[in-house]
Amino acid sequence: MTAPAPRRSRITAVTSGKGGVGKTFVAANLAAALARLGQKVLVLDADLGLANLDVVLNLFPKITLHDVFTGRQPLDEAILPAPGGFSVLLAGSGMVEYSRMTPEVREQLQKVIDEVAPRFDRVLLDTGAGISDVVLYTVSLADDVLVVATPEPTSLTDAYATIKVLATTQGRREIQLLVNQVRRPGEGRTVRAQLQQVLDRYVGPSLDGAVRLTLVGEVPADTAVREAVQRRQLLLESLPGALASQAVVAAASRLLDLEAA
């Protein structure tokens, strides 16, 4: 029995309890920011059922993960360069049939991740929203989890539920948090603190150790974001000077600092 070869790649799952909080926006722009900071990054569209990374990046490739899963195309054909200087592996719309996690889909996804991971410094898994078995499985393949939330009450509740599930069913004790669409500076810290306190009171005591939430960054509500999305451009590419762009770059840099520490 041989041990698996050491992997230099770090796999980060980007997830959110609730949809519409900018998870894919964060994944794509974070990838661009990490690429600027010198990392070789791949974003894998793991929202197999309702992927929209292609829309965010304005990429509509002929060959997608679906073709890889069905064995019609080799994996390399499906890995594309994205506008922000990183690579993407898109799910494509043919993936609706994968919205249930069957053993075959699991094997395929695992195989693809195992194969691409050694070629990149980082693989970002853009998971679906919610706490479905597909999302939980995808997250379980990652080294780290980055939860994207907004200060909205519904987003906060769903983020909390996601963190609780990951702590209880996957033994996660370190979770990264990015607060999107903050209305005032420092709101991200407030959100983190509030989540942390409720976790400490209701989740920590039933586990063998506390769940630690680390704030990776806060991204301000910025009209530039909507503008970029409507132009189908990556924010970091089209409006690099925007406050939200700067915030994403700061988050990427903090992520690397945290990992180096």
- The residues binding another protein (CB under 8 A) are 1, 3-4, 101, 103, 106-107, 110-111, 131, 133, 136-137, 140-143, 153, 156-157, 160-161, 164-165, 168-173, 189-190, 192-195, 197-198, 201-202, 206, 208-209, 215
Helix, coil or strand: residue 171: coil
Residue with the two structure tokens 């990427």: 252
Sheet with 144-149, side-by-side order of all strands: 79-81, 87-89, 41-45, 122-129, 10-16, 144-149, 174-182, 212-220
Residue 234: what residue type?
L
Six token digits for residue 48: 């197999």
Cα 12 to Cα 73, 175, 220: the distances in Å are 26, 11, 22
Minimum gap (Å) between residue 110 Cβ and another protein? 6
Q: How do strand 87-89 and strand 144-149 relate by DSSP bridges?
A: unpaired
Task: Return the number of other C-beta atoms located less than 10 Å from residue 167's C-beta.
Answer: 22
Nearer to another protein, 55 or 114 (CB): 114
Nearer to another protein, 56 or 125 (CB): 125
Minimum gap (Å) between residue 88 Cβ and another protein? 23
Minimum gap (Å) between residue 2 Cβ and another protein? 9
Minimum gap (Å) between residue 207 Cβ and another protein? 8
Nearer to another protein, 12 or 181 (CB): 12
Nearer to another protein, 190 or 233 (CB): 190
Minimum gap (Å) between residue 43 Cβ and another protein? 19
